[in-house]
Amino acid sequence: MTLIATVAATGLEVESFTAPPDVWAQWRKLPIGSFVIGHLRTPAVLKRSPRGLQFFAAAPGAGGATAPESVEHQIAKIKLVLGMRAAGHDAKVEQPGASPSGEQWQADVLVQTARGPIAVEVQLAQQHWDEYRSRTARYNASGVSVVWLVRGTHVNALGNSRIRFLMTQGWSMDEAMNRALEDMPCIPLVGSASGDEEQKVVVHPADLSQTVMRLPLEVFGAGVAGGALHMGEDRHVGGTRSWPAWLWDSAKAPEVFISFG
């Protein structure tokens, strides 16, 4: 499934999630091929999930396929981009690009900021450390910063991989256990869009007012675009030394309200 398509006759890009229900219903009556998706311009069909999520998919027999992303993944992307837009930023979902060497990428969400473009990747599935590093390098080579939202159940495994990586770079075990990577913020995403608990992003407040904060995705999106997520120094409880960590400045994260679902 995908959230964007192109009107075949005009080349206009349209979004499924911002189309009013009555407009979506009219679009669904158009002949297959009226909308195309992907760089192959695969004919698309318009669908609606049981939860009311509108999306595009490759038409049966069209010879193409869309990524097998979950509804949970799609909802996360939508909330992020709507939060960024509500805060006044130019943000889009599923935006393609390429590094100077020709390596292709597609950002779940890409937002233009005063500090340059930022990609936000919603990583709900388990992913190998090497893939995190190679995809991050691909973005960085393209002049794009990247923020990873990692499913909470995968955070420990990712942390262990980070420790092993840093130790290969010469850091001690103690340093590797506590040091964040400056080029690859990996932020936990907890809860489930399909369950009773809303998806929330877990951040560490820079003012140390509390140990962690759980933010709605739209608030996190607006804050990331506004510069709220930054590298700072964090001191663990009972610790005598501070460590480089990704911290959250609430003053740069405007409260935004979106209507979704």
Residues 2, 42 contacting (CB under 8 angstroms): no
Bridge pairing between strands 145-151 and 116-123? parallel
Q: pLDDT exceeding 90 applies to what percent of the chain?
A: 78
Backbone torsions φ then ψ of 34, nearest 5 degrees: -65, -30
Residues 188, 71 contacting (CB under 8 angstroms): no
**pTM metric for this prediction:** 0.92
Angle at alpha carbon of residue 176, lines to 170 and 181, rounded to 5°? 95
Amino acid in the structure at residue 88: G
Q: pLDDT exceeding 70 applies to what percent of the chain?
A: 91
Angle at alpha carbon of residue 199, lines to 196 and 201, rounded to 5°? 145
Domains of the chain: 4-58 (no CATH), 72-252 (3.40.1350)
**Per-residue pLDDT tens over the stretch 107-157:** 999 999 999 999 999 999 999 999 999 999 999 999 999 999 999 999 999
pLDDT at 68: 67
| 170 token code pair | 């010469």
